[in-house]
Amino acid sequence: MNILSPSILAADFSRLGEQIKEVEHAGAKYLHIDVMDGVFVPDISFGMPVISSIRKCTDIVFDVHLMIDRPERYIKEFADCGANLINFHLEATEDAVGAIQRIRFLGRRVGITISPETPAKAVEPYLKLVDMVLVMTVKPGFGGQKLIPECLDKVREVRAMVLEKGLRTDIEVDGGIRVDNVELALEAGANVIVAGSAVFKNRISDNVRSFLEKMR
Ligand code: DX5
Ligand code: ZN
């Protein structure tokens, strides 16, 4: 099944609870939560206090995307504040296996993420250990960028590895996805689709519905 994961980075933070309810009612099953630390990426977004407070207003799956240096330091905190799925960047850690094990130990689903400059092959040693691979389709750090088409070739490569190993790993894409290019991502083999500005700018419910229609 294809899943839409709207990214709250593009939401109006003064109306966050309301806008989350809106995407949920329109049919989104995941919520993509971008955590940036000003070290791994230049910007700082938000952290645990925001996640625990929105946890109180929804049961939607929290798909937390950690764009932070040495994510293994904070796994427990993100699990405690309500993450269901924790994605971390392979580029941000020297102990990916340790981070994976920590997430699993806390009973959360685990995803590994690769930035555009990281080859698809980098995920291979971890494929059997994770639930998801998140292939960034823009440089991490900012919403509203244009999709880099070459990144979809990496989605194809990851999908081929997953099939070859007989796994059921989810493949998520993130960055620059809109209603008019989501098909390309699905064709390449992605089944979880992040969309920030394409969902939260203007008519949120209509945007979610248009995505879901295209993704059916
Ligand atoms: C970028 C973030 C994305 C971002 C996507 O670093 O990981 O999740 O919010 O935003 P759009 O869909 O606007 O490219
Ligand atoms: Zn993201």
**How many angstroms does the Cα of residue 163 sit away from the middle of ligand 2?**
25
Q: In this predicted model, what pLDDT tens digit does every residue of 52-79 receive, in sequence order?
A: 999 999 999 999 999 999 999 999 999 9
> Quick one: average pLDDT of 86-98?
98
The whole-chain average pLDDT of the chain stands at 98
The pLDDT of 25-49, averaged and rounded, is 98
Catalytic residues: 34, 174
111 CB within 6 A, ligand 1: no
Cβ-Cβ contacts under 8 Å for 15 (sequence gap 6 or more): none
- Exposed/middle/buried for 111, CB within 10 Å: 0-12, 13-18, 19+? buried
Q: Is 174 in the pocket of ligand 1 (CB under 6 A)?
A: yes
Number of alpha helices (DSSP H) and beta strands (DSSP E) in the chain? 8, 8
Query: Which residues share a beta bridge with 172?
Result: 134, 192
In ligand 1, the atom with minimum distance to the C-alpha of 196 is 12
Predicted confidence at residue 94, as pLDDT, reads 98
Distance CA 116, CA 180 (A): 21
- Mutating to test ligand 1, I would choose from 67, 137, 197, 207 the residue with most ligand atoms within 8 A of its C-beta, which is 197
Its pTM stands at 0.98
Residue 82's pLDDT band, with cuts at 50, 70 and 90, is very high
**Nearest Cα residue to 129 out of 99, 152, 155:** 99
Closest ligand by atom to 85 CA? 2
Q: How many CB atoms lie within 10 A of CB 27?
A: 13
- C-alpha of residue 29 to centroid of ligand 1, in Å: 17
pLDDT value at residue 200? 98
Rounded to whole angstroms, how far apart are CA atoms 74 and 183? 35
Q: Decide if 58 contacts 24 (C-beta within 8 A).
A: yes
- How far apart CA 45 and CA 131 sit, in angstroms, is 25
* Ligand 1 lined by 10 (C-beta under 6 Å): yes
Give me the mean pLDDT over the 89-99 stretch: 98
Give the pLDDT confidence score for residue 38 in this predicted structure.
Answer: 98
